[in-house]
């Protein structure tokens, strides 16, 4: 909540969004924040930030605005978060990415149409396709 108030252009993403949506078992040490390409990197003393740069629809599509405890939180939805995990799989690890996909599918938090939509936006359709087929089977 504190980060979202101090960085209005930031959107909670990747591992922090997985934790927010209660998907997987990851407990990030940093707050993962998506920022538009070209925006200045925020400098906060606490909590530590990990910034992921995105542009166009990859940044703007899939944002959910949630009000909790009197603060507005901007976080990516489940399907967008899973697609982002595939896009940034080299930074967070393929094991974390596959755990997120399996958990989101088993908990019925993401539909195949939504996952495919965000895979297309993030340009990871070919990467995700075999894993989507395996999860459905």
pLDDT above 90 as % of the chain: 80
Per-residue pLDDT tens for 40-85? 888 888 889 999 999 999 999 999 999 987 889 999 999 999 999 9
Residues 92, 85: contact at Cβ < 8 Å?
yes
Q: Lowest mean pLDDT of 7-11, 17-21, 91-95, 121-125, name the range.
A: 7-11
pLDDT at 128: 96
| pLDDT reading at 136 higher than 90 | no
Domain ranges of the chain: 2-136
């Amino acid at each position: 909540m504190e980060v979202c108030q101090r960085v209005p252009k930031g959107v909670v993403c990747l591992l922090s969004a997985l934790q927010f949506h209660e998907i997987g078992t990851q407990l990030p040490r940093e707050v993962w924040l998506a920022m538009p390409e070209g925006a200045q990197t925020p400098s906060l003393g606490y909590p530590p930030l990990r910034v992921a740069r995105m542009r166009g629809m990859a940044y703007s599509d899939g944002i959910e605005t949630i009000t909790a405890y009197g603060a507005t939180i901007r976080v990516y939805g489940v399907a967008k978060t899973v697609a982002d995990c595939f896009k940034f799989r080299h930074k967070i690890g393929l094991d974390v990415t596959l755990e997120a996909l399996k958990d989101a599918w088993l908990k019925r938090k993401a539909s195949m149409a939504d996952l495919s939509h965000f895979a297309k936006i993030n340009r990871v359709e070919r990467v995700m396709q075999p894993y989507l087929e395996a999860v459905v089977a």
